[in-house]
Amino acid sequence: MGKTKTTNQWENIPFKTETREILNILIHSLYSEREVFLRELISNASDALTRIQFELLTNREVVDPEVELGIWITCDPEAKTLTIRDTGIGMNAQEMSENLGTIAHSGAKAFIEAAQTHAETISDIIGQFGVGFYSAFMVAESIEVISRSYRPDETSARWVAHGEETFSIEPSEKTERGTTVIVHLKEDAAEFAQEDRLRSIIRKHSDFIPYPIHLGESTEPVNEQSAIWRKQPSTISDEDYNNFYQQFSLDMQEPLLKVHLSVDAPVQMYALLYVPASPERSIFSLRKDEGLKLYARKVLISEYSKDLLPPYLRFVDGVVDSEDLPLNVARESIQSNRVIAQLKRVITNKLIDSLKSLGKDNPDKYIDFWKVYSRYIKEGFATDPEAQAALTPLMRFPTSKSPDGWVSLEDYVTASPSHQDKVYYLLGDDVRLMASSPHIEAYKAQGIDVFLMADPLDSFVLLKLDKYDGKELVNVAQVEAPTPSTDPEEDQEENAEDQERVERLLNRIRSVLGDRVSDVRSTKRLVESPARLVDADGALKPELQRVYKMINQTLDEKPKVLEVNLQHPLLIQLGKAGAGKPTTRLVIEQLYENALLLEGNLTDPAGMINRIQELMSAALGDSHD
């Protein structure tokens, strides 16, 4: 890039390769919504004003400390020029070279790919990829940028680009703080030198910019600029809320939830909060960090305040404005300020209440939220004991009756039979496998629903959530299923079974499986399956086992117990088969690995396939005989 000169000689500096590619796309292509360039330039001016406003909170040794913070736009139809001037933080020559002459490689590459595949929506993606300034080249023959930094010892500079190859920087005579952008319009862009056209664009895209935008000779701002969060919700339309959110964040997706607060006690505050459609913040987003914008009487105190919400709600975006915060509050003392603690408590409670209401009033939209943000809510439940009672109603899980759905604890209990005194769950890795798990067969047979908890974070939740509505949460893999009263004759018939034959079969299975299992025993918990694996006596609870594995802690795992269903045809046949029959060992091995497969713990699928093929060959041979 090279350093700029301090003489009156121009210095030609080549644009970076990626930047030239972007300029080539914007200069030589025609897009239908070229007006967005003005939105981007105004947004840049607004950012510069916010930065100087923030600087002025602690530093008055700046150029023009008393000058009005605003944006002035003028146009000249005859000269075909458009000028945007702000009194923001300004730039020196080196900053102009860095900020206007290059763009992050990743941002450039992503924009180029998006422009090639989504050319019809170029106006939407410009703001998302950090190339807003360059969008002016859609309408410009050339662009001049004249700027004076806020630092008293800096000199002003002038940046000029006539095309896509190079830009030039020279000293400037500008004395007042801020930046002026002069766009020399193309012949086919003359409309952007008309005040009426500019006024409509500003009102469409930049009405809620928090600084006055003056157009032409008018002393009255053309934009509304009022703090929308201080208005009465009844006076604001959904379109207004969405427009503000888009201008505020440059996120073109509609937010999942908005919460507009006006509170007088215990602390006076206004807030407008949004839950974005996605928590993933692109590196090209305007939001560079977590936290809410904190205002004191409409003056920005903190760009990204992390003290207004607990960590598990860090995905929330928006603004908070309080009359009770002093304007001169030191940045380092914000965290310990009593008002901040009150604000945090109020905002957190209101947000959680709004999410609860969304779950009741619009279940489908709440599920959209839950699919995206469940890990944050579970994180809060697991790490913040004081939040557990408030967050429990937000939980949703699939169940054996609704493996593709999401059921709350309240709905589960409401739908349960009156005599059911427990909440049942099963831990696993795959809901599809869990829905057909042998562990839930006895519950299915009795019409009892079982929560299927396949999210790794569910284990952390279960360490804290042991009861709901007075009902204990129990793992169906560890307890006997509730059974209806049985026929005495049936019991007598079972008691008369040949125990010696049963023990002989169990010993045969033990001898084949060896130390891969702690024991082999019969069970009456199975209905359709021939076998299942359960934890040995004294083993850690399943949720603890999973937590240990997730945090890479050494776990002394005991081999599991294989429980078999002696009433299953396969076990009956196995009991009749001779111990020396070649397929007997294969069947026992397969019985064990089938159970492993249903637990999601099969480690040798190739070996299983070979064994199945041997059994198939043997079956065909028996059929032939």
We report the CATH number of the domain holding residue 514 as 1.20.120.790
Query: Would you say residue 354 lies in a domain?
Result: yes
Which range has highest mean pLDDT (462-476, 492-506, 567-581)? Answer: 462-476
Nearest Cα residue to 44 out of 109, 130, 139, 125: 130
State whether 202 and 305 are in the same domain. Answer: no
Query: Would you say residue 16 lies in a domain?
Result: yes
State whether 209 and 269 are in the same domain. Answer: no
State whether 287 and 353 are in the same domain. Answer: yes
Last residue of a domain, one of 215, 244, 278: 215
User: Looking at the predicted structure, is the pLDDT value of residue 43 above 80?
Assistant: yes
pLDDT for 540: 78
State the total domains in the chain.
3
| Mean pLDDT, range 76-96, rounded to an integer | 95
How far is residue 156's CA from residue 174's CA, in Å, rounded to a whole number? Answer: 6
64-73, 374-383, 481-490: segment of lowest average pLDDT: 481-490
13-27, 351-365, 527-541: segment of lowest average pLDDT: 13-27
User: Looking at the predicted structure, is the pLDDT value of residue 128 above 50?
Assistant: no
pLDDT category, 37, cuts 50, 70, 90? confident
Q: How far is CA 150 from CA 55, 57, 66, 89, 625, in A?
A: 9, 14, 12, 5, 96
pLDDT for 247: 80
State whether 184 and 316 are in the same domain. Answer: no
State whether 144 and 254 are in the same domain. Answer: no
| Mean pLDDT, range 403-412, rounded to an integer | 96
State whether 295 and 150 are in the same domain. Answer: no
Residue span of the structural domain in which 592 resides: 499-531+558-624
178-182, 389-393, 485-489, 530-534: segment of lowest average pLDDT: 485-489
User: Looking at the predicted structure, is the pLDDT value of residue 601 above 50?
Assistant: yes
Q: What is the CATH number of the domain that holds 43?
A: 3.30.565.10
pLDDT for 282: 56
Of the chain, the percentage scoring pLDDT greater than 70 comes to 84
Task: Kindly report, residue by residue over 206-221, the tens digit of the pLDDT.
Answer: 887 889 999 999 889 9
| Cβ(105)–Cβ(15) below 8 Å | no
State whether 124 and 33 are in the same domain. Answer: yes
Q: What is the CATH number of the domain that holds 336?
A: 3.30.230.80
Task: Tell me if the bond preceding 221 is cis, omega within 30° of 0.
Answer: no
| Cβ(309)–Cβ(271) below 8 Å | no
State whether 232 and 205 are in the same domain. Answer: no
Long-range contacts of 72-76 (CB under 8 A, 24+ apart): 72/213, 72/214, 73/42, 73/198, 73/202, 73/213, 73/214, 73/215, 73/216, 74/215, 74/216, 75/192, 75/193, 75/194, 75/195, 75/198, 75/216, 76/193
Check residue 325 and report its DSSP letter: S
The whole-model pTM stands at: 0.68
pLDDT for 111: 45
Helix axes 542-550, 457-464, angle to 10 degrees: 130
pLDDT for 373: 97
Last residue of a domain, one of 366, 401, 433: 366
DSSP element (H, E) containing 228? none
User: Looking at the predicted structure, is the pLDDT value of residue 332 above 90?
Assistant: no
| Mean pLDDT, range 538-543, rounded to an integer | 78
User: Looking at the predicted structure, is the pLDDT value of residue 225 above 80?
Assistant: no
Q: What angle do CA 434, 396, 400 make, to 5 degrees?
A: 30
210-214, 334-338, 341-345, 478-482: segment of lowest average pLDDT: 334-338
132-136, 246-250, 577-581: segment of lowest average pLDDT: 577-581
| Mean pLDDT, range 254-260, rounded to an integer | 95
pLDDT category, 11, cuts 50, 70, 90? low
**268 or 103, higher pLDDT:** 268
| Cβ(559)–Cβ(515) below 8 Å | yes
Query: Would you say residue 562 lies in a domain?
Result: yes
Q: Average pLDDT over the chain, rounded to whole?
A: 84
Which range has highest mean pLDDT (9-18, 253-262, 535-544, 609-618)? Answer: 253-262
Q: For 560, phi and psi rounded to 5 degrees?
A: -80, 170
pLDDT for 329: 55
Query: Would you say residue 474 lies in a domain?
Result: no
- Provide the terminal-to-terminal Cα distance of the chain, rounded to the nearest Å: 84
Structure tokens at 348: 């957190």
How far is residue 401's CA from residue 415's CA, in Å, rounded to a whole number? Answer: 11
User: Looking at the predicted structure, is the pLDDT value of residue 89 above 60?
Assistant: yes
pLDDT category, 555, cuts 50, 70, 90? low
pLDDT category, 40, cuts 50, 70, 90? confident
pLDDT for 284: 47
Which range has highest mean pLDDT (95-99, 105-109, 154-158)? Answer: 154-158
Of the chain, the percentage scoring pLDDT greater than 90 comes to 51
User: Looking at the predicted structure, is the pLDDT value of residue 527 above 80?
Assistant: yes
pLDDT for 17: 62
Query: Would you say residue 421 lies in a domain?
Result: no
| Mean pLDDT, range 346-357, rounded to an integer | 97
Task: Kindly report, residue by residue over 282-311, the tens digit of the pLDDT.
Answer: 544 566 788 998 887 776 777 788 999 999
- The burial class, CB within 10 Å (0-12 / 13-18 / 19+), for 360 is exposed
Last residue of a domain, one of 215, 242, 264: 215
Find the DSSP H helices in 283-362: 338-361
User: Looking at the predicted structure, is the pLDDT value of residue 483 above 60?
Assistant: yes
pLDDT for 130: 39
State whether 197 and 293 are in the same domain. Answer: no
Query: Would you say residue 313 lies in a domain?
Result: yes
- The burial class, CB within 10 Å (0-12 / 13-18 / 19+), for 545 is middle
In single-letter form, the type of residue at position 286 comes to: L
Q: What angle do CA 367, 369, 375 make, to 5 degrees?
A: 105
pLDDT category, 127, cuts 50, 70, 90? very low
pLDDT category, 258, cuts 50, 70, 90? very high
**Which residues, 6+ apart, have CB-to-CB distance to 523 below 8 Å?**
532, 563, 564, 565
Find the DSSP H helices in 296-424: 338-361, 363-383, 388-391, 409-415
Q: How far is CA 217 from the centre of its chain?
A: 45
Query: Would you say residue 393 lies in a domain?
Result: no
Nearest Cα residue to 70 out of 93, 92, 52: 52
Q: For 623, phi and psi rounded to 5 degrees?
A: -65, -40
| Mean pLDDT, range 19-33, rounded to an integer | 65
pLDDT category, 6, cuts 50, 70, 90? very low
| Mean pLDDT, range 371-394, rounded to an integer | 96
